[in-house]
Amino acid sequence: MVKAFEGSAFLLKEGEISEPVKTQFGYHIIRLDAHIASEKISFDEVKDKLIKAQIKKHEDRIMQDYLGNLTSLDVEMTEEALQKLVDEQFGEDYSDSPDGGSEQE
């Protein structure tokens, strides 16, 4: 929270509505519905959640780096390489016709 917003919010009593509060994000009117007390959570209670979050963050970063590297590569496809790819994907029979396979049913 920005200081102006936080200062106004914590001065309110439950059910009160603030005067307009100006921050760098604009004007705000704050209504305090309830005070919720903070609670301390032990490290053991959140350890697995923190580890999973960091693993996910790391996997996402690795994936973005990988995709970024793939899109920046200059790929040149030769006729021979394309023919090999078609043969591997569809079988050699697919491109055996004289016009390169365009008459397949």
Q: Residue 58 — φ and ψ, nearest 5°?
A: -65, -45
Query: pTM of this prediction?
Result: 0.38
The predicted-structure confidence for 66-78, as pLDDT tens digits, reads as follows 988 888 878 788 8
Instruction: Count CB atoms within 10 A of the CB of residue 73.
Output: 6
17 DSSP assignment: B
Q: How many CA atoms lie within 13 A of 55 on its CB side?
A: 6
- Mean pLDDT of all residues in 83-102: 72
The predicted pLDDT at position 101 comes to 47
